[in-house]
Chains A and B, each alone.
Chain A
Amino acid sequence: MKGKSITILLVEDDPAHAEIVRRNLETLRIPKRLVWVTDGQAALDYLRRTNDYAAPAIAPTPALILLDLRLPKLDGLEVLRNIKAEPLLKMIPVVVMSTSSAAPDIERAYEYRANSYVTKPLDLARFTATLDTLGYYWLRWNELPEVIVA
């Protein structure tokens, strides 16, 4: 806890779902800034600072990526594969969010080295709790970055 605000990149095409994520993140006490992009290509552009996000000022490196699987243009899994293939991006924790709790979806996400797979729970409480847990993970990671990188 350094008092510095962190950036969370939300990749979500459904505005309703984005609102849900936003509301949930409100409850977290960590200073944060939520950046919301609606498609996979935009997410990669942001991370690579290309096209619309060429300036570092408007695209601070996120501390966490919340990635929906079902995305226009570039699919969530494809975005994940790209992130994990790039040396500079692969260390950013990616939490895959999906409405599907089907085993093949989950397996594939981990196969693409997602840091976590979160089903968009129908249950609000469970979803918030998940995000809380997520916040906890993130704090630990922030304090001991070397350990995680190693």
Chain B
Amino acid sequence: MTRTLHPWQNYAVAAGLFALALGLRYVLLPVEAGLAYLTFYPGLVICALLCSWRPALLYIALAAPVGTYIFNPPYYGFAANDVAVVTTFAVSAFTILAALEIFKRRTAFIPAPTELGSVRDTKLILGLCLTLGLLVVMGFVVIRQDFREREDVAWVVHTHEVETHIKSLLSNVIDAETGERGYLITGQDLFLEPYRNADVRVESDLQRLRELTHDDPLQQQRLAQLAPLLKKRLDRLAVQIALRQQQGFAAAQAELATGVGKALQDQIRTLAAELQTAERTLGEARLAHAQSSANLTIAVSMFSLTGAISALGFSVWRLMHALRARRRAEEEVRNLNTMLATRADDLELRLRLAARASNTGFWDWDLRTNFVYFSPEYKAQLGYTEHEMLTGFVEWESRLHPDDREATQQRVHAYLAAPRGDYEAEFRLRHRDGSYRWILARGLATLGADGKPERMLGSHIDITTYKETELALRESRELLQLFIEHAPVALAMFDGEMRYVAVSRQWLNDYFLGERDIIGHSHYEIFPEITDAWKDIHRRGLAGETLRADEDRFERQDGTVQWIEWEVLPWYTGSRKVGGIIIVTEDITERVKLKNNLLQSERKFSALFYQSPIPQVMSNSAQDYQTVEVNKAMAQMFGFSREEMLGKSFPQLGISRDLVRRKQALDTLEKKSQLINHEYTLYPKVGDAIIVLAHVTQLDIDEEHFTFTAMQNITQRKQMESLLVKSEQEFRKLAESMPQIVWATRADGWNTYFNQQWVDYTGLTLEASYGQGWNKPVHPEDLQRIWDAWTYAINNRGNYSQECRLRRADGVYRWWLIRGVPVLDEHGNITKWFGTCTDIDDIKHTELKLRESEMRLMEAQRIAHIGSWEWQLGDSTIVWSDETFRIYGVPQQPAGVSMAQLIERIHVDDRPAMQTWIETCATGQSVPDLEFRAVLPNGETRVLNGRGELRSAEHIGRRVMVGTVQDITELKQYEHALRQKNIELERFTYMISHDLKSPLVTIKTFLSYLQQDLAKPDAARVEQDINFIATASENMSRMLEELLEFMRVGRVKTLPVCVTWRELVDEALTMNAGALTQRGVRVDIADSALVLCGERLRLVQLWQNLLGNAIKFIGEQPKPLVSIGVELRGQDATFYVCDNGIGIDPRYHDKIFGLFEKLDTRAPGSGLGLALVKRIVEQYGGRINVVSAGTGQGACFRFTLPGAISNERQGITT
């Protein structure tokens, strides 16, 4: 409030208020001077509230002296208590001012410091209140005193008036007496003047006195006493006057002389004096009271003033204190504000700096005017200074890069059309130098009252560098991708979620991922088989650890095992956070395998070395051939432990004692770098010298020279050799004496020995037979075979056994069995072969004969379709002949067939029977033939006949069941067909015997009746008899004709003729035309272009009979209808002839096709029609059936003629 007024306005308000108060005071002054000065207070309060404290002080300064002066009119002059009044006003005014100021401040100063709050504040208020209270008391006392003083003055005046009137009363009485005396004396009326008006005047005074002392009963009482006295006196005077006048002086005198008048006068005087005295006493008493009251007032005023000043002083002290506190607080606030202001400035500065530093421009686009403010930074971005270029949206648009213009404009319009969120766009703007800069613009629209954007504010960042960086980054990333992809190791880069970021081709190859696009896919999705252990490794990698393993087993989902060397490295993003991991793996499966193989072979080798039975030693050539390694066999051979031998040369150990020979050997070794079959004598630790055969080889391992020696203890061999020579001679003797040919060869097959039998048989000389000469007598057909077998035996060290023909000396070939056995040395090597040749020609011939007879049997079985089998009772397998296998359709098994296999081939229904049969066989009982069905592997069912017979096979001591099996399927089929034919024949015979006999019986019987009747004679009976005979013979004749016709079907062979179906039907219709017309039958023909080939007559007969049949049994049908047609279904054609006649009871559907079968005896015809139809249909390989729901439901004959369909002409022949 105060803030809204200027200082001069404050003063004006204060002056105005003062003038107002002064005016009011003038108005009020006559009314009540004492209260008039209160008019200054409202002004003060208003001034204090409206203005600041300065105008309020001005107000006080004006009001205190001026107001007081005006308050006291000039005639009063300055009085002592005026000072008090001014002081009082001033003090109270200040107090009010202070109180208001505090109130105002409190309300105005919102962040109130605590010093002004609660306790201390209360004290201050209390102090001020006390001050005010004391001032009020003082004011009250002063005002009261003022009133009393005025009252006292009034009383003084009053007393004086009373005295005056008393004096006036007395003087009037005295005047009246004086005048009367004069008259009395003189008798002249002149002297009576003062007397004449005295009574009126006395009465006036008396009245006045009564009024003045109306409140004093004593005075009133006195006045009441005085009034009659005064009357009496005046009346005395009147009496005296009257006496004088009437009686003269004397009388008057006499009268006077009585002294009555004088007594009255004295009484009046006394009373008047009493009145005067009483009044004067009263006045004095009042004066004294006024005096004491004034004293009290002064005392109280002084006390109050003192107290008020003290209280004010206290309040002021408190106020000062509070003010100080506030000033401090204000100081703090000011400091704070200053600080804040500084900071705001700072912030702004920073923002600008930041804007400049970050190259961020700002723009402010007024959409109503299209004016755009561009900040200096903005302009700077485009190469302009602050005061150059550019206002407006159009300018901006014109600077857009042509490629970006449309898209950016669209973006702006789209945003403005629906300003949701922030606007953001990237585009290129033309720089002053003509180049384009990439700009990232962001903005936010503010909406007007109508909800439409009216202003848009935004930033502008030059991101050219960023863009270029991005481009560069992309390039570098592509480079990285390229690098990774073609890195010669399996390398994959993953992000933090283990998704592929990049992957090398090698990786794809190693993990058989082919061309799968796995980028962006999770590693675990690609390899579900990854174990938790691996996942843990990945986690650790993602946590920043670098892990590696040289050899790790990785089992793939498909079960293959890969060995990989891997390394997991975290990669870091720009912010040094782990962005993901890189896994580098190398498929070292092959390497591991190689290593393992190497290790294994090394192990094998050392095992071989140490465990080898061949004594071996390795010595250092440079250190006098000290032993470096020695195997168990060697150590054992010399009776040393391995440790004893290590590090010592053979001479040192005492093994080699012939040092001269050793020297020679070593020299040779130096020259030739190896010694083969070096034989020498060595000495073991204990025992006799041994002869060894040594192979010594020089080895260079890592530029060191070693010798490797393998030895063979030939001590025993040497001893044996002499023994061998002896035993060889013995062997030769034995071989020569053997009846068979005996031979021996070297290990390589080179013949070295034949006995005499060979020479005798072949006629060859031994010399011609040695080496490979033995094959000369071999039959050319057998040569290759036995040579191959021989080569095979040599290579495989197996026994050799072959049959072949050898030419005898006379040119005859005979069969021989050649057998050979390898002779192995202690190491399992073949040293030679020994063999024999045995003449088996006679056996061979027998065998051939046997085989031939077997062949014949087999052939016989094949031709007869009879297989044979043989079962040694109790065996699990049965031996089948080839034909048996063929019959069962099972591939041949030389080992025979198991029982289960046999049962498997038997038809399920026949298995129990077969099992029983086998069981019966097993008990050794003879069994009857068994007919059963076998299901072949191809699903065909065949009927077989089994036959078994028990034999005892002496040579094996067991009983054998021998049997045959015969395929009788065809037989069965023929049997069945035959049975069918028989049934048919039987039926035919039956028909002949019944139906053909029937008319004969009739004729014969009636002929005898005729005889009798002619004899009687009975003309009626004779006629009847003749009729019966005639009918019967007619029937007979027709039946025979029809039967002949029937029999002819299929027997007469004519060339097939091809006719359209329609033609056949039309012909049949013509033949039945009469009956059709007679019965009024409508015929519906579903036309078809089908062509039928066959015997025309028969084909016509089909429809002719069926049509005739339909007309015959049309019944009483009011709308008789016959439908004829063909239904084609692929190659199959079904013909139908349907009628709506009387129909056929389903019970007789089969019977109606029988020969001479009639359902109704009264119906015309012999009952051959449908039988003929059926026969014709069957001739053409077809089937016929009738469909009828029953009597009265009509009937439908449906039939097929596969043999007559034009593309199957051959079918019509019988």
- Show 20 A/B contacts (Cβ-Cβ < 8 Å), sorted by A: A13-B1161, A16-B1002, A16-B1031, A19-B1028, A20-B1005, A20-B1009, A23-B1009, A38-B1162, A39-B1159, A69-B994, A72-B1167, A73-B1147, A73-B1159, A99-B1001, A100-B990, A100-B994, A102-B989, A102-B990, A124-B1009, A125-B1008
For residue A140, CB closer than 8 A to chain B, the reply is no
- A127 engages B1005 (CB within 8 Å): yes
CB-CB nearest in chain B for A124: B1008
**Known contacts A72-B1161, A73-B1148, A20 near B994 by CB under 8 Å:** no
- A99 engages B993 (CB within 8 Å): yes
Question: Cβ of A70: which chain B residues have Cβ within 8 Å of it?
Answer: 994-995, 998
- B1159 engages A99 (CB within 8 Å): no
- A14 engages B990 (CB within 8 Å): no
For residue B85, CB closer than 8 A to chain A, the reply is no
For residue B578, CB closer than 8 A to chain A, the reply is no
* A120→B1001 CA distance, assembly (Å): 7
Additional A-B contacts beyond A72-B1158, A120-B998 (5; CB < 8 A): A14-B1002, A69-B994, A72-B1157, A105-B990, A124-B1008
**Per-residue 0/1 for B1128-1167: is the Cβ within 8 Å of any A Cβ (1 yes, 0 no)?**
0000000000000000010110010000011111100001
In whole Å, how far is A109's beta carbon from the nearest beta carbon of chain B?
Answer: 13
In whole Å, how far is A149's beta carbon from the nearest beta carbon of chain B?
Answer: 32
For residue A88, CB closer than 8 A to chain B, the reply is no
For residue B1006, CB closer than 8 A to chain A, the reply is yes
In whole Å, how far is A128's beta carbon from the nearest beta carbon of chain B?
Answer: 10
For residue A122, CB closer than 8 A to chain B, the reply is yes
For residue B1000, CB closer than 8 A to chain A, the reply is yes
- B994 engages A99 (CB within 8 Å): yes
For residue B577, CB closer than 8 A to chain A, the reply is no
In whole Å, how far is A132's beta carbon from the nearest beta carbon of chain B?
Answer: 16
- A20 engages B1002 (CB within 8 Å): yes
Contact of A122 among B993, B1001, B1158, B1159 (CB under 8 A): B1001
Residues of A within 8 A of B (CB): 13-17, 19-20, 23, 38-39, 69-70, 72-73, 98-100, 102, 104-105, 120-125, 127
> Counting chain A CB atoms within 10 Å of each CB, which of B1002, B1145, B1160, B1167 scores highest?
B1002
Rank and list the top 3 A-B pairs by shortest CB-CB distance, nearest first: A99-B997, A124-B1008, A16-B1002
* A59→B925 CA distance, assembly (Å): 66
Question: Cβ of B997: which chain A residues have Cβ within 8 Å of it?
Answer: 99-100, 120
- A98 engages B1161 (CB within 8 Å): no
Which residues in window 968-1023 of B have CB below 8 A to A?
986, 989-990, 993-995, 997-1002, 1004-1006, 1008-1009
Question: Cβ of A14: which chain B residues have Cβ within 8 Å of it?
Answer: 998, 1002
Question: Cβ of B1005: which chain A residues have Cβ within 8 Å of it?
Answer: 16, 20, 122, 124, 127
**Known contacts A16-B1032, A70-B998, A100 near B993 by CB under 8 Å:** yes
In whole Å, how far is B1191's beta carbon from the nearest beta carbon of chain A?
Answer: 11
* A38→B1031 CA distance, assembly (Å): 17
- A102 engages B998 (CB within 8 Å): no
* A122→B993 CA distance, assembly (Å): 13
- B1161 engages A17 (CB within 8 Å): no
* A20→B1002 CA distance, assembly (Å): 8
* A69→B1161 CA distance, assembly (Å): 14
* A69→B999 CA distance, assembly (Å): 15
Question: Cβ of B1000: which chain A residues have Cβ within 8 Å of it?
Answer: 99, 122
- A99 engages B1157 (CB within 8 Å): no
Question: Cβ of B1158: which chain A residues have Cβ within 8 Å of it?
Answer: 13, 72
In whole Å, how far is B982's beta carbon from the nearest beta carbon of chain A?
Answer: 12
**Per-residue 0/1 for B872-899: is the Cβ within 8 Å of any A Cβ (1 yes, 0 no)?**
0000000000000000000000000000
In whole Å, how far is B526's beta carbon from the nearest beta carbon of chain A?
Answer: 83
- A122 engages B998 (CB within 8 Å): no
- A105 engages B993 (CB within 8 Å): yes
Question: Cβ of A102: which chain B residues have Cβ within 8 Å of it?
Answer: 989-990, 993
In whole Å, how far is B1188's beta carbon from the nearest beta carbon of chain A?
Answer: 14
* A125→B989 CA distance, assembly (Å): 27
* A73→B1159 CA distance, assembly (Å): 5
Question: Cβ of A39: which chain B residues have Cβ within 8 Å of it?
Answer: 1159, 1161
Interface size on B, residues (CB 8 A): 32
| Chain B contact surface mostly | helix
Question: Cβ of B1008: which chain A residues have Cβ within 8 Å of it?
Answer: 123-125
- A99 engages B1148 (CB within 8 Å): no
CB-CB nearest in chain B for A24: B1005
Question: Cβ of A16: which chain B residues have Cβ within 8 Å of it?
Answer: 999, 1002, 1005-1006, 1028, 1031-1032
**Per-residue 0/1 for B1153-1186: is the Cβ within 8 Å of any A Cβ (1 yes, 0 no)?**
0000111111000010000000000000000000
**Per-residue 0/1 for B366-406: is the Cβ within 8 Å of any A Cβ (1 yes, 0 no)?**
00000000000000000000000000000000000000000
In whole Å, how far is A91's beta carbon from the nearest beta carbon of chain B?
Answer: 26
In whole Å, how far is A130's beta carbon from the nearest beta carbon of chain B?
Answer: 12
Question: Cβ of A20: which chain B residues have Cβ within 8 Å of it?
Answer: 1001-1002, 1005-1006, 1009
* A69→B990 CA distance, assembly (Å): 11
* A15→B1024 CA distance, assembly (Å): 12
**Known contacts A73-B1148, A122-B1001, A124-B1005, A38 near B994 by CB under 8 Å:** no
Question: Cβ of A17: which chain B residues have Cβ within 8 Å of it?
Answer: 998, 1001-1002
In whole Å, how far is A27's beta carbon from the nearest beta carbon of chain B?
Answer: 11
CB-CB nearest in chain A for B992: A100
Question: Cβ of B1028: which chain A residues have Cβ within 8 Å of it?
Answer: 15-16, 19
* A36→B1185 CA distance, assembly (Å): 33
**Per-residue 0/1 for B705-741: is the Cβ within 8 Å of any A Cβ (1 yes, 0 no)?**
0000000000000000000000000000000000000
* A98→B934 CA distance, assembly (Å): 47
**Per-residue 0/1 for B566-609: is the Cβ within 8 Å of any A Cβ (1 yes, 0 no)?**
00000000000000000000000000000000000000000000
* A123→B1158 CA distance, assembly (Å): 28
Contact of B994 among A15, A23, A98, A104 (CB under 8 A): A98
CB-CB nearest in chain B for A76: B994
- B1161 engages A38 (CB within 8 Å): yes
* A123→B1005 CA distance, assembly (Å): 7
- B1032 engages A72 (CB within 8 Å): no
In whole Å, how far is B601's beta carbon from the nearest beta carbon of chain A?
Answer: 96
CB-CB nearest in chain B for A69: B994
Question: Cβ of B1009: which chain A residues have Cβ within 8 Å of it?
Answer: 20, 23, 124
Question: Cβ of A121: which chain B residues have Cβ within 8 Å of it?
Answer: 1001
CB-CB nearest in chain B for A101: B993
CB-CB nearest in chain A for B1158: A72
In whole Å, how far is A42's beta carbon from the nearest beta carbon of chain B?
Answer: 10
CB-CB nearest in chain B for A12: B1161
CB-CB nearest in chain B for A70: B994
- B1151 engages A73 (CB within 8 Å): yes
* A23→B1005 CA distance, assembly (Å): 11
* A27→B1159 CA distance, assembly (Å): 32
Question: Cβ of B994: which chain A residues have Cβ within 8 Å of it?
Answer: 69-70, 98-100
In whole Å, how far is B992's beta carbon from the nearest beta carbon of chain A?
Answer: 9
* A17→B986 CA distance, assembly (Å): 24
Question: Cβ of B1159: which chain A residues have Cβ within 8 Å of it?
Answer: 39, 72-73
Question: Cβ of A72: which chain B residues have Cβ within 8 Å of it?
Answer: 1157-1161, 1167
* A125→B1167 CA distance, assembly (Å): 32
* A124→B995 CA distance, assembly (Å): 19
Question: Cβ of B1162: which chain A residues have Cβ within 8 Å of it?
Answer: 38
* A13→B999 CA distance, assembly (Å): 12
* A121→B1161 CA distance, assembly (Å): 23
* A54→B1167 CA distance, assembly (Å): 30
In whole Å, how far is B1007's beta carbon from the nearest beta carbon of chain A?
Answer: 8
- A99 engages B1161 (CB within 8 Å): no
Question: Cβ of A124: which chain B residues have Cβ within 8 Å of it?
Answer: 1004-1005, 1008-1009
* A86→B979 CA distance, assembly (Å): 33
> Counting chain A CB atoms within 10 Å of each CB, which of B993, B1006, B1032, B1148 scores highest?
B993
* A17→B1157 CA distance, assembly (Å): 18
* A99→B1032 CA distance, assembly (Å): 14
CB-CB nearest in chain B for A13: B1161
Question: Cβ of A23: which chain B residues have Cβ within 8 Å of it?
Answer: 1009
In whole Å, how far is B1003's beta carbon from the nearest beta carbon of chain A?
Answer: 9
CB-CB nearest in chain B for A120: B1001
* A70→B990 CA distance, assembly (Å): 9
